[in-house]
Amino acid sequence: MPTISVRLLKGRSIDQKREFVEVVTREAARILKCGPDAVEIVFEDVEKHDWGIGGKLVADK
């Protein structure tokens, strides 16, 4: 059972996540030769003050 973990900066809409889950599930099942029911996707929403890129917090950019 493939489990796909996705970390995102907080702020994506439920519709964006819904579309992502549909498309990624379909393609993962096709590529990995498994049923779509076997694919799990877990979102982790991260605050901008909890994410750093290039030595700076995203909240500070």
Catalytic residues: 2
**Token representation of residue 13:** 């809409």
Catalogue the E-assigned strands of the chain: 3-9, 40-46, 52-53, 56-57
Q: How far is CA 34 from the centre of its chain?
A: 20
